[in-house]
Chains A and B, each alone.
Chain A
Amino acid sequence: MNGLPVRDFAALAPVAILALGALTLLMSEVFLTSARRGYQAGVTLVTAVLTAVSAIVVPPAGAIFGGQATIDAFSVFVTVVICLGVGLSALVSAGWLHARDAERGEYYALILFAASGMVLLGMSSDLLVAFVAIEIMSLSTYSLTAYQRRGRRPSEAAFKYMILGAISSALLLYGSSLIYGATGTTLFSGMHGGKGAGSMLLVAGLGLVASGIAFKVAAVPFHAWTPDVYEGAPTPVTAFMAAGVKTAAFALLARIFLSSQTGAGVADLSFSQILTVLALLTMIFGNLLALPQRSVKRMLAYSSVAHAGYLLVGVVSAKVEGARSIALAGVLFYLAAYTATAIGAFAVVGAIEARSLGGHESRRDWDLDRFSGLARRNPLLAFAMTVFLLSLAGVPPTAGFMGKLYIFKAAVGANLIPLAVTGILTSILGAFYYLRVIVHMYMKPAEGEEAVTATPSMALALGGAVAIVVVLGVLGDPLIRLAQAASAVVM
């Protein structure tokens, strides 16, 4: 290697911009004289926009640093979706934190650091780079979970998240070492076909890596942390995690799973089987466990598990010849749709919940009864929530429906009928618990005049999310084309 690989560094611009934005925020704390931190959400938003623009403008460089990372249409798509998540969550956070007088310097910086890890994860094509990216992302989200540190729940949630996250990292790392032992390389591209293909060592390694990623995407049976963490974390953080972590982790999973050159082989087959089982379990139990929840926040946490199941169906389908491009494009589209929908839904939860800070939170904060009569108290908020819930349930004409249509179409095309049937049947369960919230909002009398936190920035985020959900549901074709172009390069 002679000299600095300038081209390779330039290709990392999106990651660098996010990190720079985070550092700017931290530095500004030093010079800050007043306690007013309203500008920070703005800086975060601008950083997200700049990152997205840089990702789109800078021509994809392909494999960089000897193939350890890949900048292609796929990573660009993932980067933009993550930036969308960052931007929406920043807007939601602004109002939420302000109402609780909880704006402190590190919040937005942590969001941006986490985002830089996520974006890097979408680019990584090497097990070690992926590990580093996961750790950047995870450490930031652990801290964000404990942001409201005075309460009991945030500490519990963050601790649980960190311990289980550490175990998943260990699994991932151990799996990586086994794969290295079998194939002599940590590059994704070297994992299949070449040396060591078909050895049990490789199968075991892939299994462990899959388990590690399954933790991050909250697939059953590695989902146990999800409800507590999602419920305990500050609501805007939950929104950000639900969308961002899922997007980044699925990008990684898709790359590892699909980087195969040859296609067939024992290792691939077993990887497919592992993911199929995970998908089935996740769809069935994610939906079943969401069913009895009275806390809307917890219900959305389980719903996030269920959606991981549908996404897994897309990933599994992508392995089948002939269904590849549409399956992976479906996953990408689904991730974009889920980002807007989930952040929107959690934002409404954040607007409804009590403003108390500290040790008094209880499940009641997010109880269904708090949503009673919302349609009368705040019709626009109720309407926005209805759109998000219908999208989560997969009712047309919403982005969620198009995403499901896309993924199930891929599954049918890949002849994975059992997966498609399970997905369809479990989405009926989904209709039950999503509808219950709508019933409370529109059809039950209000129990009291609960205060609703609705600031202009929150309204902007909700308006944007509703627009995205509806437009993607009705006129999603351009995005589908982009997703198809993005998925074509991973083949």
Chain B
Amino acid sequence: MNLLTVVTFVPLAGAILLALIPRDEAGQHRAATLVFTLITFFLSLGLWLGFDASPSAPEFQFEVKQPWMSSIGIGYHVGLDGVALLLVMLTTVLMPIVILSTWSAVQDRVKEFMIALLVLETAMIGTFAALDLILFYVFWELILIPMYLLIGIWGSQNRLYATVKFFIYTFAASVLMLLAILFVYFHDGNTFDYVEARNALQVTSEQARFLFLAFALAFAVKVPMFPLHTWLPDAHTEAPTAGSVILAGVLLKMGTFGFFRYALPLFPEAALTFRPLLAGLATVGIVYGALMSFVQTDMKRLVAYSSVSHLGFVMLGLAALSAESLTGSVYQMLNHGVSTGALFLLVGMLYERRHTRAISQYGGLAKQVPWLATAFVIVTLSSIGLPGTNGFVGEFLILSGTFLSRLASSTVLATVASVGVILGAVYMLVLVEKVFFGPIDNPENRHLPDLSVREGFVLAPMILFIVVMGLVPGPFLAPARPAVDRLVQRFQQAEARLGVPTSVGTVDAAVAARPSLPPGRAF
């Protein structure tokens, strides 16, 4: 049996098994879930080791193509390119950590909670693995149900508003994508197969623009791009820690992944038309998210707005369409998953100790909980992109790649985006200062327990990734290269078809002609 299929459905099998364990055995539910997510992780290591990242290797690996609902043209077609592989790995790495982090935080309805998480894992892996448009859509929508329940049942006070808003926002945006998928079916030789559709799609440029917008809307809501981001702060704030970590760690990447895999390569001509809009909104999102983070009084809301800002970088890198910026975007997807995921874990740990998310309730914690404070500072440094951490690599690639790209007014956009980096450092360091340093004003903050062993196990892998991915980015960048190069190539072909001067890639030649700037290769 195909390894990718196994990795996809092992969590679902776990969910079914969990349904059979009696309700009162919370300990068994937790342990079984941890075991199943660990099995999934170890199996996915096989994907990581077996992936061939050389340019001559097939685009999609671990591929399976079987009839499923063949009478209406739907197939079970899955496979991984480098980007999907990285995101699947991100998912399988994060899940055991998330399960471990909820060990004591969730006491109510543990069985349903764990089942929801396992179903969610299958849906997330399936979304990245799918190579059939309807299969992709099924997994994409399947995510909504467990996530909706996670926020709505185990969330905090305002959870109902947040969860319904989350569901309606994403559902509304995705059904239009479904319509676009159906339209594609009738213009690509009647197939829902992604690979075939990409090669055979025949639409007028006007139709392509509508289709691109339908896909882009679904993905932009998920990312979320300014001004479609308003569900995110609510969902993040109200979700339980596990929900926030998965939301930030994996779900937001589905939006950017959607652009990378579907919206951009399926409709390159239309994407070129809307590229300035995407880049502009991404840049606005970077600065807006940072400014909004600055004024938040709720820790989770602050981190949520910082996500808007960080994902803005990813979108800017995608819109710039140079090999460097695209690679940076892919890397930044992983970074955001690790560092923002870790931030939510840490905020969750603080919440478990003090049961408040208000920043003003904290202060001077560093003396009480030195290990927690240390971890928080390291994660913060990664989040603001300090050299030596993973965040630096991604942001540097995106900003330099955008600056040197052929995107119209790319230098302005990259410069404005750089301001976002500075603002990011400001609001994160202010947060650290307010929470961990200064005098202990609030007597409740005395005698808080430091990290437990379990919490140490939760944070250690995250911090390890922050350091390793910051110092040795090569192995993590390598699988993405072929996919990135193919995307750039696709756009060059599209421009050749349109007969317009190329606007993708970097201005290497121009840079070389100007000795004042260093050569444009970032790595």
- Cross-chain contact A413 with B164 (CB below 8 angstroms): no
Q: Interface-forming stretch among A241-249, A260-268, A426-434?
A: A426-434
A481 contacts which chain B residues (CB < 8 A)? 71
Bound-state CA distance A3–B478 (Å) is 84
Bound-state CA distance A396–B175 (Å) is 11
- Cross-chain contact A412 with B182 (CB below 8 angstroms): yes
A412 in complex: contacting residue of B138, B144, B179, CB < 8 Å: B179
The answer, yes or no, to whether B183 is at the interface (CB within 8 Å) is: yes
CB distance from A161 to the nearest CB of B (A): 34
Bound-state CA distance A276–B152 (Å) is 39
- Cross-chain contact A424 with B71 (CB below 8 angstroms): no
- Cross-chain contact B69 with A480 (CB below 8 angstroms): yes
The answer, yes or no, to whether B159 is at the interface (CB within 8 Å) is: yes
B186 in complex: contacting residue of A375, A412, A438, CB < 8 Å: A412
- Cross-chain contact B152 with A476 (CB below 8 angstroms): no
Chain B's closest residue to A386 (CB) is B145
Interface size on B, residues (CB 8 A): 35
Name the interface residues of B116-147: CB closer than 8 Å to any CB of A.
Answer: 134, 137-138, 141-142, 144-145
The answer, yes or no, to whether B167 is at the interface (CB within 8 Å) is: yes
Given A428-B168, A431-B171, A439-B160 in contact, is the A408-B69 Cβ separation under 8 Å? no
The answer, yes or no, to whether B178 is at the interface (CB within 8 Å) is: yes
B171 contacts which chain A residues (CB < 8 A)? 395, 428, 431
Name the interface residues of A3-44: CB closer than 8 Å to any CB of B.
Answer: none
- Cross-chain contact B153 with A420 (CB below 8 angstroms): no
B145 in complex: contacting residue of A379, A390, A425, CB < 8 Å: A390
- Cross-chain contact A402 with B141 (CB below 8 angstroms): no
CB distance from B375 to the nearest CB of A (A): 33
Name the interface residues of B221-267: CB closer than 8 Å to any CB of A.
Answer: none
The answer, yes or no, to whether B457 is at the interface (CB within 8 Å) is: no
CB distance from A478 to the nearest CB of B (A): 9
The answer, yes or no, to whether A326 is at the interface (CB within 8 Å) is: yes
The answer, yes or no, to whether B176 is at the interface (CB within 8 Å) is: yes
- Cross-chain contact B72 with A406 (CB below 8 angstroms): yes
Bound-state CA distance A145–B134 (Å) is 41
- Cross-chain contact A435 with B164 (CB below 8 angstroms): yes
The answer, yes or no, to whether A159 is at the interface (CB within 8 Å) is: no
A477 in complex: contacting residue of B70, B137, B149, B163, CB < 8 Å: B70
Contact digits for B20-46, partner A, Cβ 8 Å, 1 yes 0 no: 000100000000000000000000000
A431 contacts which chain B residues (CB < 8 A)? 167-168, 171-172
- Cross-chain contact A476 with B69 (CB below 8 angstroms): yes
The answer, yes or no, to whether B465 is at the interface (CB within 8 Å) is: no
The answer, yes or no, to whether A421 is at the interface (CB within 8 Å) is: yes
CB distance from B134 to the nearest CB of A (A): 7
The answer, yes or no, to whether B68 is at the interface (CB within 8 Å) is: yes
- Cross-chain contact B138 with A432 (CB below 8 angstroms): no
- Cross-chain contact B144 with A395 (CB below 8 angstroms): yes
B178 contacts which chain A residues (CB < 8 A)? 405, 408, 424
B176 contacts which chain A residues (CB < 8 A)? 424
- Cross-chain contact B149 with A442 (CB below 8 angstroms): yes
The answer, yes or no, to whether B351 is at the interface (CB within 8 Å) is: no
B182 in complex: contacting residue of A409, A439, A476, CB < 8 Å: A409
- Cross-chain contact B168 with A412 (CB below 8 angstroms): no
The answer, yes or no, to whether B185 is at the interface (CB within 8 Å) is: yes
Bound-state CA distance A427–B182 (Å) is 16
Bound-state CA distance A379–B138 (Å) is 25
Name the interface residues of A317-372: CB closer than 8 Å to any CB of B.
Answer: 326
Bound-state CA distance A481–B72 (Å) is 9
Given A395-B144, A396-B141 in contact, is the A477-B179 Cβ separation under 8 Å? no
CB distance from B69 to the nearest CB of A (A): 5
- Cross-chain contact A409 with B72 (CB below 8 angstroms): yes
Given A428-B171, A428-B175, A439-B160 in contact, is the A408-B72 Cβ separation under 8 Å? no
Per DSSP, chain A at the interface is helix
Given A396-B137, A431-B168, A443-B153 in contact, is the A326-B72 Cβ separation under 8 Å? yes
CB distance from A55 to the nearest CB of B (A): 22
- Cross-chain contact B186 with A397 (CB below 8 angstroms): no
- Cross-chain contact B164 with A439 (CB below 8 angstroms): yes
Bound-state CA distance A379–B67 (Å) is 35
Chain A's closest residue to B180 (CB) is A412
A413 contacts which chain B residues (CB < 8 A)? 182, 185-186
A124 contacts which chain B residues (CB < 8 A)? none
- Cross-chain contact B185 with A409 (CB below 8 angstroms): yes
Chain B's closest residue to A413 (CB) is B186
- Cross-chain contact A443 with B152 (CB below 8 angstroms): yes
A412 contacts which chain B residues (CB < 8 A)? 179, 182-183, 185-186
Chain B's closest residue to A425 (CB) is B175
- Cross-chain contact B70 with A397 (CB below 8 angstroms): no
Given A395-B144, A424-B175, A424-B179 in contact, is the A484-B164 Cβ separation under 8 Å? no
Contact digits for B61-84, partner A, Cβ 8 Å, 1 yes 0 no: 000000111111000000000000
Given A408-B182, A480-B69 in contact, is the A397-B138 Cβ separation under 8 Å? yes
- Cross-chain contact B168 with A408 (CB below 8 angstroms): no
B167 in complex: contacting residue of A405, A424, A435, A484, CB < 8 Å: A435
Chain B's closest residue to A479 (CB) is B71
A427 in complex: contacting residue of B67, B134, B164, B175, CB < 8 Å: B175
Bound-state CA distance A402–B74 (Å) is 11
B70, B167, B179, B185, most chain A CB atoms within 10 A: B179
Bound-state CA distance A477–B160 (Å) is 37
Chain A's closest residue to B111 (CB) is A379
- Cross-chain contact B134 with A395 (CB below 8 angstroms): no
- Cross-chain contact B69 with A477 (CB below 8 angstroms): yes
B168 contacts which chain A residues (CB < 8 A)? 428, 431-432, 435
CB distance from B359 to the nearest CB of A (A): 28
- Cross-chain contact A420 with B182 (CB below 8 angstroms): yes
Bound-state CA distance A401–B141 (Å) is 10
Given A428-B172, A439-B152 in contact, is the A420-B71 Cβ separation under 8 Å? no
Name the interface residues of A439-463: CB closer than 8 Å to any CB of B.
Answer: 439, 442-443
Chain B's closest residue to A444 (CB) is B160
Chain B's closest residue to A393 (CB) is B171
- Cross-chain contact B179 with A480 (CB below 8 angstroms): no
CB distance from A193 to the nearest CB of B (A): 29
Bound-state CA distance A405–B71 (Å) is 13
- Cross-chain contact A395 with B164 (CB below 8 angstroms): no
- Cross-chain contact B69 with A395 (CB below 8 angstroms): no
- Cross-chain contact B164 with A480 (CB below 8 angstroms): no
Given A395-B144, A443-B152, A443-B153 in contact, is the A420-B179 Cβ separation under 8 Å? yes
Given A420-B179, A427-B175, A443-B160 in contact, is the A480-B71 Cβ separation under 8 Å? yes
A401 contacts which chain B residues (CB < 8 A)? 138, 141
- Cross-chain contact B179 with A405 (CB below 8 angstroms): no
A435 contacts which chain B residues (CB < 8 A)? 148, 164, 167-168
Bound-state CA distance A390–B71 (Å) is 24
- Cross-chain contact A408 with B179 (CB below 8 angstroms): yes
Chain A's closest residue to B179 (CB) is A424
Bound-state CA distance A397–B139 (Å) is 8
A397 contacts which chain B residues (CB < 8 A)? 138, 142
Bound-state CA distance A153–B112 (Å) is 39
Given A424-B178, A428-B168 in contact, is the A402-B137 Cβ separation under 8 Å? no
B148 contacts which chain A residues (CB < 8 A)? 435, 438
CB distance from A436 to the nearest CB of B (A): 8
- Cross-chain contact A405 with B68 (CB below 8 angstroms): no
Bound-state CA distance A61–B107 (Å) is 63
**What residues make up the interface of A, taking CB atoms closer than 8 Å to B?**
326, 375, 379, 390, 395-397, 401-402, 405-406, 408-409, 412-413, 417, 420-421, 424-425, 427-428, 431-432, 435, 438-439, 442-443, 476-477, 480-481, 484
What 14 additional pairs, Cβ within 8 angstroms, besides A395-B141, A435-B168? A390-B145, A395-B144, A396-B137, A396-B142, A401-B141, A412-B182, A413-B182, A428-B175, A432-B164, A439-B160, A443-B163, A477-B68, A480-B71, A481-B71
| 8 nearest A-B pairs in the assembled complex, by CB-CB distance | A396-B138, A412-B182, A443-B152, A428-B172, A480-B71, A424-B175, A477-B69, A396-B141
9 inter-chain pairs at a CB distance below 8 angstroms, sorted by A residue, are A379-B112, A397-B138, A406-B72, A408-B178, A421-B179, A424-B179, A431-B171, A435-B164, A477-B69
